[in-house]
Amino acid sequence: MNIQPPFNFGTLVPSMRIFLVRHGETDWNLEKKAQGHTDIPLNERGVRQAVAVAHHLRNLGRFNVLSSDLIRASETARIIADQLGSQHQESHDLREQGFGIFEGKAYAEVGQELDSLSEKLQVPRHEVQPEDGESAKMVWNRIQPVIDSLYSDTIIVCHGGTLGLALAKLLGGDLSLARSFWFSNACVNELERQRNGFAKLIRYNDVAHLKGIE
């Protein structure tokens, strides 16, 4: 894999901190169903998880808080932003991959469907687009403007699949790297983007702040 800096700044810029947070738990997470664009709210434990993340990050100061516009992510982000006294902005670009006709099915079944389509169409899995849905490659492309816009300390709250793609981009990897990552609900991932444009991974899938509520 040819690793390149994920940013093209032309001139050196100050380092900054980026936190990637997965939304709190939903009932569909418990049932291991693919949510995609289906707008499932946080359940009771998911709200407690969001509060725990907010309490954990409360001393960061006024970070920018960006999130997906789907309620499970936007509500998690609002709770965090309120604790930090920060503004919260939503973006459609940070949504989870749309699984179309597969939404509501078990993750394992969706994976089998995508693998089957990949073999049938003779294309890589990340190029498989479910009916009424998106391919992972499409999500990879739609989050690029968000990554390009990161010029100050930022907390991004979104979804497991989208976080994997974002982390792969920030680390300078390619799309296939995203499948190496897995994220727990309400986990915290911390990166430092250095002056040379590379991002250094400080924490991955940290859930220590959830101790006592699980």
Q: Which residues are catalytic?
A: 23, 96
Q: What is the spatial distance between Cα 27 and Cα 91, in angstroms, rounded to a whole number?
A: 23
Among 74, 36, 42, CA closest to 155: 74
CA distances from 176 to 50, 65, 144, 163 (A): 29, 27, 16, 13
CA distances from 59 to 127, 158, 186, 190, 211 (A): 41, 21, 18, 15, 19
